[in-house]
């Protein structure tokens, strides 16, 4: 019936909490890597002004979009084929 898994036990709670923590760490790592990669790729080291100009803006847009697509694609490839090829 419904009473089996409704109330998570203590072990389940810890498991869920651990998974959430791992997920959070993964997200934070993804964000940091994304910002660093796109910053190093798109912004010149000689800072000539403090505002982002249009070229850098579109470069960052494209960089983030591509990075996100690559992440999703690689995740799908890793997720679908369970035994590594």
- Applying CB under 8 A, the residues found at the interface with another protein are 42, 44, 46, 48, 51, 53-59, 62
Which C-beta is closer to another protein: that of 9 or that of 49? 49
Which C-beta is closer to another protein: that of 23 or that of 61? 61
DSSP the chain: -TTSSSS--HHHHHHHHHHHHHHHHHHHHHHHHHHHHHHHHHS-SS---SS--HHHHHHHHHHHHHHHHHHHHHHHHHHH-SS--
In whole angstroms, the minimum distance from the beta carbon of 57 to another protein comes to 6
In whole angstroms, the minimum distance from the beta carbon of 67 to another protein comes to 15
Which C-beta is closer to another protein: that of 27 or that of 62? 62
């Amino acid at each position: 019936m419904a009473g089996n898994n409704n109330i998570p036990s203590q072990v389940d709670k810890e498991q869920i909490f651990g998974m959430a923590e791992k997920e959070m760490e993964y997200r934070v790592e993804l964000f940091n890597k994304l910002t660093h990669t796109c910053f190093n790729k798109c912004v010149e080291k000689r800072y000539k002004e403090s505002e982002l100009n249009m070229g850098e803006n579109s470069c960052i847009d494209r960089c983030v979009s591509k990075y996100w697509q690559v992440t999703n694609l690689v995740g799908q490839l890793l997720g679908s084929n369970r035994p590594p090829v």
